[in-house]
């Protein structure tokens, strides 16, 4: 299922200056792929470029603001000029911030949507047409979040942005299946709680239950080989069985006509606990 993961092929990773993006780029480089690193953090991007180049990989690093479609078009142009066809597009760039109430700070909300959701859309619009045209095996990997599925209270903007990535990537997978001659697969990376630079900005010390970027990407690579669309990653606190319970409970809010986000509703506390333990 990973014919695209081969020597001489090319991978583009946004949000690649650190965390999951940089670790994914390292794994792609280990397979012999050409690597394109894209990020807005220029100092960190330069360090990432050096670290991969020192390992022998062919690397192009470029400043890129994924909220700006023109910036993604410039990235595509530079990539194709340097390496030709693209075989893996990983739309990973994202931001996190402390939550506000749903009627507060519209500017922060717009920034979150512009990067976390529209950054994925812009990346796909920039790269997928030429990926289809070269008619070779390829993959699009979009980074979502468990918060986009179970949508816990306290950070509505982040939840909404990642729920959008979920819905968009599902549509992408369906469209690829129905595109004649298409050899592109779509995959949704759903990390657990991962200690990355985005998280360390708020939590200086790594909690013991947090997964590392290395653990998360190792899981991702295994599931890509298996052909998974939903790459639901564990962390050191939440095994898949608990994730499945949380997802099921969330879906049942609609089916059973419970109050919104009933998992956090005092009247359903005992029922939820029994459901998880059962």
Question: What distance separates the 2 farthest-apart alpha carbons in the chain?
Answer: 60
% the chain with pLDDT above 90: 88
pLDDT tier at 123 (50, 70, 90 boundaries)?
very high
Residues 165 and 150 grouped into a single domain: yes
* pLDDT for the residue 193: 87
Q: What is the pLDDT of residue 201?
A: 66
Residue 56, classed as helix, strand or coil, is coil
Output the pLDDT for position 195. Answer: 78
Contacts with 122 (C-beta within 8 Å, 6 or more apart), sequence order: 66, 67, 68, 69, 71, 72
Identify whether residues 167 and 264 lie together within a single domain. no
Calculate mean pLDDT across residues 202-231. 90
Residue 202 is predicted with a pLDDT of: 67
Structure tokens at 248: 């099921």
The mean pLDDT of the chain is 95
Q: Could you list the residue range(s) of the whole structural domain that residue 255 is in?
A: 239-278
Segment 158-177 shows an average pLDDT of 98
Report, as an integer, the average pLDDT of 108-135: 97
Assigned domain for 278 exists: yes
- Kindly state whether residues 64 and 185 are assigned to the same domain: yes
1 part of a folded domain: no
In a domain, 153, yes or no: yes
Q: Is the pLDDT of residue 160 over 90?
A: yes
Residue 159 belongs to a domain with what CATH number? 3.40.50.720
Confidence of residue 203 (pLDDT cuts 50, 70, 90): confident
Q: Is residue 257 part of a domain?
A: yes
pTM: 0.95
Mean pLDDT over 187-214 rounds to 83
In three-state secondary structure terms, 188 is strand
Rounded Cα gap, residues 96 and 234, in angstroms = 20
In the chain, how many domains are there?
2
- Host H or E run for residue 38: strand 34-39
> Catalytic site residues?
158
- Closest listed residue to residue 87, CA positions, set 3, 145, 170, 207: 3
Which one, of 190, 93, 87, lies nearest residue 140 by Cα?
Answer: 87
Query: Under a CB-based contact definition with an 8 Å cutoff, are residues 158 and 99 in contact?
Result: yes
Return the higher-pLDDT residue of 203 and 11.
11
Res 221: pLDDT? 98
pLDDT at 269 exceeding the cut of 90: yes
What is d(CA 75, CA 35) in angstroms, rounded to the nearest whole number? 12
């Amino acid at each position: 299922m990973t014919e695209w993961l081969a020597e001489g092929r090319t991978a583009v990773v946004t949000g690649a200056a650190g965390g999951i993006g940089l670790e994914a780029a390292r794994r792609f480089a280990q397979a012999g792929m050409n690597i394109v690193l894209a990020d807005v953090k220029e100092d960190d991007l330069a360090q990432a470029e050096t670290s991969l180049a020192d390992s022998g990989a062919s690397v192009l690093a470029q400043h890129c603001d994924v909220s700006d479609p023109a910036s993604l078009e410039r990235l595509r142009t530079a990539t194709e000029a340097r390496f030709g066809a693209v075989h893996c597009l990983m739309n990973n760039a994202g931001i996190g911030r402390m939550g506000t109430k749903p009627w507060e700070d519209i500017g922060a909300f717009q920034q979150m949507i512009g990067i976390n959701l529209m950054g994925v859309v812009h990346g796909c619009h920039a790269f997928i047409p030429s990926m289809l045209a070269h008619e070779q095996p390829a993959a699009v990997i979009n980074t979502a979040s468990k918060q986009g599925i179970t949508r816990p209270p306290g950070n509505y903007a982040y939840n909404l942005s990642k729920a959008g990535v979920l819905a968009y990537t599902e549509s992408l997978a369906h469209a690829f299946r129905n595109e004649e001659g298409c050899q592109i697969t779509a995959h949704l990376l759903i990390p657990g709680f991962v200690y990355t630079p985005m998280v360390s900005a708020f939590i200086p010390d790594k909690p013991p239950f947090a997964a590392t970027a290395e653990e998360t990407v190792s899981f991702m690579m295994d599931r890509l080989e298996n052909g998974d669309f939903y790459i639901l990653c564990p962390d050191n606190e939440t095994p898949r069985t608990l994730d499945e319970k949380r997802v099921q409970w969330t879906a049942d809010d609609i089916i059973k006509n419970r109050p919104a986000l009933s998992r956090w509703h005092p009247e359903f506390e005992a029922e939820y606990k029994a459901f998880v333990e059962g």
